[in-house]
Amino acid sequence: MLLLPVAIVLIVFLAWPFALVLWESFFVGGQLSLANYLSLFIRRLYRESLFTSFILSVSTAVLGTIIGIPVSYAIYRSRRMKDFFMALTSVPLTFSGLVVGFAFIVLLGTSGFITLLLKRFTGIDPLEFSAFLFTWRGLVVAYLYFLIPRMILTMVVAWSNADWSLVEAASSLGAGRFLILFRVILPMLGPAILSGSSLLFAVSMGAFGTAFALTGTAVKILPMVIYTQVSDMSSDIAQADALAIVLTVATTFVIMIYERSFRRADGARAS
């Protein structure tokens, strides 16, 4: 009975909408068909957008994890300033993707604040400098703005709940820093690293607002292609539904493979 409210929420806000989208994706001109899914293999745009989304998400998840872990440890060790840094870290999560995108344009665009400062003190060409912002590389930088805080918040909790007596025991037995890091700390923090990096990948796969503000449809990622199917440029709801299902299934599948591989490696290390 305690899980009933959770089950109702999941059915109403997840299972039922997903079922509706899935059902509509099988119709073309009022007839049942697999054409919307077969188009993924036929149309180059769909394949490239899925591949670009995947590479972008893997890149941001890896970079976000690598940057987020040491920063989270520094915040955890800051003690008196920990609450302040935690509140500061949460600020980027309060902005929508569109706000983040326009903020980067204001800061790093051709007439952006930072761009003009660099032009004044280093003599850079604003057009050349800001061009990266509206490309695939610019999306990586912008995505990291709201992905790294997620990794930090996850890992600060992990650092706080870590059993530091294991580290002390290993150190007292003569283990070096390298051995302690790879045989004690990383296995201990493995579940948190797994959940944090999976979260970063999933958020990046579905991110839309920031890409819409920065690159529009210039960079072909699947969320933007789905948008074009239901915008003024086109109106193919069933095709958009099929692409949304593909995006959901691909994201879930990659996360499941990642989690299974991670746990298998963790189990092998423990044995």
Alpha-carbon distance of 208 to 100, in angstroms, equals: 11
φ, ψ (nearest 5 deg) of residue 12: -70, -40
Give the H/E segment covering residue 11. none
Reading the block at residue 17, the tokens are: 């909408």
- pLDDT at site 254: 85
Alpha-carbon distance of 67 to 55, in angstroms, equals: 18
Q: What pTM, to 2 d.p., does this model score?
A: 0.84
Closest CA to 57 of 115, 143, 162: 143
CA angle 252, 34, 45 (to 5 degrees): 65
Alpha-carbon distance of 195 to 185, in angstroms, equals: 16
- pLDDT at site 3: 79
φ, ψ (nearest 5 deg) of residue 111: -110, 25
Burial of 21 (0-12, 13-18, 19+ CB in 10 A): middle
- pLDDT at site 183: 86
Dihedral sign of CA atoms 3, 6, 10, 12 in order: positive
Instruction: Provide the residue-wise pLDDT of the chain in tens; the chain has 271 residues.
Output: 777 888 999 999 989 999 999 999 998 888 888 888 998 888 888 899 999 999 999 999 999 999 999 999 999 998 788 889 999 999 988 888 889 988 999 998 888 889 888 888 888 888 888 888 888 888 999 999 999 999 999 999 999 988 889 888 988 888 888 888 888 888 888 888 988 999 999 999 988 888 888 887 788 899 998 988 887 666 788 889 999 999 999 888 888 887 777 676 666 655 5
Q: Which ranges of 109-236 does DSSP label H, i.e. alpha helix?
A: 113-122, 126-130, 136-161, 164-172, 177-180, 186-206, 209-214, 222-229
Task: Return all residues near 80 (Cβ < 8 A) that are at least 6 apart.
Answer: none
- pLDDT at site 271: 59
3-state SS class at 31: strand
Reading the block at residue 180, the tokens are: 């302690």
Task: Return all residues near 194 (Cβ < 8 A) that are at least 6 apart.
Answer: 258, 259, 262, 263
